[in-house]
Structure 1
Amino acid sequence: MPDADTALQPEPAAPAAAPVAERRPTTRTHHGDTFTDDYEWLRDGEDPAVVAHLEAETAWAEAQTAHLAPLRERLFAEIKERTLETDLSVPVRQGGYWYYSRTVEGQQYPIHARVPVAQAGDRTPPRVEPGEVPAGEQVLLDENVEARGHDFFSLGGSDVSADGSRLLYQVDTQGDERYTLRLRDLTTGQELPDVVEDTAPGATFTPDGAYVFYLTVDEAWRPDKVWRHRVGTPVSEDVVVFHEPDERFWVGVGVTRSERFVVIEAAAKLTSEVRLIDVAEPEAEPRVVWARREGVEYTVEHAVLPGDADGAGRDVLLVLHDDGAVNFELVVTPVPGAGAPLDPADAVVVLSHDPAVRLDAVEAFATHVVLGYRREALTRVGVVDVAALARAAVGAAALDAASGVVPTDVPEPLPVRELELDEPLFTVGLGASPEWDQPTVRVVTESFVTPPGVHDLDLATGELTLLKRQPVLGGYDPERYVQLREWATAEDGTRVPVSLVWRRDAVTLDGAGTRAEPAPLLLYGYGSYEYSMDPWFSVPRLSLLDRGVVFAVAHVRGGGELGRRWYDDGKMAAKPHTFTDFVAVGRHLVAAGWTAPGRMVAEGGSAGGLLMGAVVNLAPDLFAGVHAAVPFVDPLTSMLDPTLPLTVTEWEEWGDPLHDPEIYAVMKGYAPYENVPDDAAHYPQILATTSFHDTRVLYVEPAKWVARLRAAGAPVLLRIEMAAGHGGVSGRYARWEQVAWENAWLLGVLGLAEG
Structure 2
Amino acid sequence: MKKTLLVLLNIIAINVLMAQKMTSAGLTAPKATKKPHPMTIHNHTRVDDYYWLNKREDSEVIDYLNAENTYTEKVMSSLESQKNALFEEMKGRIKEKDESVPYKDGSYFYYSKFVEGGEYPVFCRKYKSLDAAEEIMLDGNQMAKGHTYFSIGGFEISDNEEIIAFGEDTVSRRNYILQFKNLKTGQLYPEKIPNTEGGSYAWAADNKTFFYVVRDQQTLLGNKVYKHILGTDPKTDVLVYEEKNNQYYMGIGRMKSKKYVVIFSEQNGIATEYQLINATTPNVAPKTFLKRKNGLEYYLEHYENKFFIRTNLGNSPNYQLMEVDEKLGGNPKNWKTKIAHRNDVFLEGLEVFKNHLVLQERKEGLIQLRIMDQKTQKEHFLDFGEPTYDAYIGTNPEFDTNTLRFGYNSMTTPNSTFDYDMNTKAKVLKKEQEVLGGFDKSNYKTERIYVTARDGAKIPVSIVYHKNTKIDGNSPLLQYAYGSYGSSMDASFSSTRLSLLNRGFVYAIAHIRGGQEMGRQWYEDGKMFKKINTFNDFVDCSKALIDLKYTSKDNLFAMGGSAGGLLMGAIINQSPELYKGVVAAVPFVDVVTTMLDESIPLTTGEFEEWGNPKNKASYDYMLSYSPYDNLEKKKYPNMLVTTGLHDSQVQYWEPAKWVAKLRDYKTDDNILLLHTDMTSGHGGASGRFSALKNTALMYTFILGLAQKLN
Interval containing the TM-score (normalised by the shorter chain): over 0.9
Q: 1:459 offset after TM fit, Å?
A: 2.4
Report the counterpart of residue 631 of structure 1 in structure 2: 587
1:15 Cα deviation after fit: 10
State the one-letter code of the partner of 1:664. Answer: Y
CA distance in 1, matches of 2:518, 2:473: 32
1:600 aligns with 2:556: yes
Match of 2:310 among 310, 317, 320: 320
| Aligned partner of residue 157 in structure 1, secondary structure | strand
Of residues 720-729 and 709-718 in structure 1, the stretch that sits farther from structure 2 once superposed is 709-718
Mapped pair 1:550 → 2:506: yes
Of 454, 457, 468, the match for 2:417:
454
After superposition, the C-alpha distances for 1:397-435 in whole angstroms (9 at most, x for unaligned) are xxxxxxxxxxxxxxxxx5432111111111111111112
1:574-620 deviation per Cα after TM superposition (whole angstroms, max 9, x unaligned)? 00000011000000001111111110110000000000000000000
Report the equivalent of 1:656.
612
Per the TM alignment, residue 545 of structure 1 is displaced from its structure 2 partner at its CA by 0.1
1:331 to 322, 330, 354: 322
- What is the identity, as a one-letter code, of the residue corresponding to 1:700? W
Question: Which 10-residue stretch deviates more, 230-239 or 325-334?
Answer: 230-239
Aligned with 2:643 (options 678, 681, 690): 690
Residue 500 of structure 1 is matched in structure 2 by 463
Q: Which residue is 1:523 aligned to? A: 479
Q: Deviations over 1:483-506 (max 9, x none)?
A: 11111111111111111000001x
Q: Which moved more, 1:207-216 or 1:236-245?
A: 207-216
Task: Output the CA distance in 2 between the equivalents of 1:576 and 1:232.
Answer: 53
Equivalent residue for 1:386, pick from 359, 374, 378? 374
The 2-side partners of 1:197 and 1:499 are apart by 42
Query: In the alignment, what sits opposite 2:8?
Result: none
Q: Which moved more, 1:159-168 or 1:323-332?
A: 159-168
The alignment partner of 2:191 has SS state of: strand
Question: Does the C-alpha gap of structure 1 residues 227 and 17 become closer, same or farther in structure 2, counting only changes over 3 Å?
Answer: same
Match of 1:33 among 44, 51, 71: 44
- Residue 513 of structure 2 contacts residue 525 of structure 2 at CA under 8 Å; is this kept in 1? yes
Aligned residue for 2:630? Answer: 675
Alignment-derived partner of residue 19 in structure 2: none
Distance 1:108 1:355 in 2: 45
Pairs within 5 Å for 1:3-22: 16-22=27-33
**Are positions 1:198 and 2:195 aligned together?**
yes
Deviation at 1:462, TM superposition (A): 2.5
**Is 1:666 matched with 2:585?**
no
Q: Within 5 Å, give how 1:611-626 maps onto structure 2.
A: 611-626=567-582
Q: Distance in 1 between matches of 2:231 and 2:595?
A: 43
1: CA distance, partners of 2:361 / 2:210: 32
Q: What's the counterpart of residue 150 of structure 1?
A: 147
Determine the C-alpha separation between the residues in 2 that align with 1:364 and 1:208.
24
Aligned to 1:77: 88
Moved more, 363-372 or 20-29: 363-372
- Aligned-pair CA distance for 1:208: 4.1
Residues 16 and 502 of structure 1, relative CA distance in 2, 3 Å threshold: closer
Counterparts of 1:354 and 1:287, CA distance in 2 = 32
Equivalent of 2:657, from 677, 685, 704? 704
- The 3-state SS of whatever aligns with 2:62 is helix
Change (3 A) 1:462 1:29: same
Distance in 1 (alpha carbons) for counterparts of 2:192 and 2:381: 45
Once residues 22 and 547 of structure 1 are traced to their aligned partners in structure 2, the CA distance between those partners, rounded to angstroms, is 41
- Kindly provide the amino acid, as one letter, of the partner of residue 328 in structure 1: Y
TM-score (norm 1): 0.88
The answer (yes or no) to whether the contact 1:329–1:352 under 8 Å persists in 2 is yes
Offset at residue 237 of structure 1 (A): 1.7
Structure 2 SS opposite 1:191: coil
How far 1:336 sits from its partner (Å)? 4.9
AA aligned to 2:527 is K
Q: Structure 1 unaligned runs (5+)?
A: 1-13, 119-125, 127-133, 305-314, 389-413, 509-514
Normalised to the residue count of structure 2, the TM-score between the two structures is 0.94
Q: Which residue of structure 2 lines up, in the alignment, with residue 302 of structure 1?
A: 302
1:371 aligns with 2:371: no
C-alpha contact (below 8 Å) 2:472/2:551 kept by paired residues: no
> Do structure 1's residue 60 and structure 2's residue 71 form an aligned pair?
yes
**Structure 2: how far apart are the matches of 1:148 and 1:358?**
45
Counterpart Cα distance in 2 of 1:562 and 1:689: 30
Q: Please list the CA deviations of residues 128-164 of structure 1 after superposition, one character each: whole Å capped at 9, or x if unmatched.
A: xxxxxx7611110000111110000011111112322
Task: Tell me the distance in 1 between the aligned counterparts of 2:153 and 2:176.
Answer: 7
Paired residues, what number? 679
Q: Residue 467 of structure 1 corresponds to which residue in structure 2?
A: 430
Q: Secondary structure at the match of 1:358?
A: strand
Distance (Å, rounded) in 2 between the aligned partners of 1:207 and 1:445: 34
Contact persistence 1:15–1:60 (CA under 8 A):
no
1:304-347 CA deviation, whole Å, 9 max, x = no partner? 2xxxxxxxxxx10001011210100010012257xxx6211210
Root-mean-square deviation over aligned CA pairs: 1.4
8 Å CA contact 2:411–2:446 kept in 1: the answer is yes
* Residue identity (%): 38
Secondary structure of 1:726 counterpart: coil
Deviations 1:39-71 (A, max 9, x none): 000001111000110111111111111111121
User: For residues 434 and 448 of structure 2, what CA distance do their matches in structure 1 show?
Assistant: 26
1:183 paired with 2:180, answer yes
Give the match for residue 290 of structure 2.
Answer: 290
Partner of 1:533: 489
CA distance in 2, matches of 1:516, 1:731: 39
Name the residue aligned to 1:576. 532
Contact 2:97 2:114 in 1 (8 A): yes
Asked if structure 1 preserves the Cα contact closer than 8 Å seen for 2:388 and 2:448, the reply is: yes
1:168 and 1:521 map into 2 onto residues whose CA distance is 45
Q: Which moved more, 1:429-438 or 1:179-188?
A: 429-438
Q: Is the 8 A contact 1:317 1:335 kept in 2?
A: yes
- Partners of 2:473 and 2:546 within 8 A in 1: no
Report if the CA contact (8 A) 2:149-2:679 is conserved: yes
After TM superposition, where is structure 1 displaced by more than 4 Å over at least 4 residues in a row?
none
3-state SS in 2 of match to 1:518: coil
Q: Using the alignment, how far apart are the partners of 1:667 and 1:554 within structure 2? A: 23
1:498 is paired with a residue whose SS is strand
Q: Match of 1:273, SS?
A: strand
Distance 1:223 1:615 in 2: 33
Assess if the C-alpha contact under 8 Å between 1:256 and 1:302 holds in 2.
yes
Amino acid at match of 1:204: A
1:109 aligns with 2:120: yes
Contact 1:108–1:731 under 8 Å retained in 2: yes
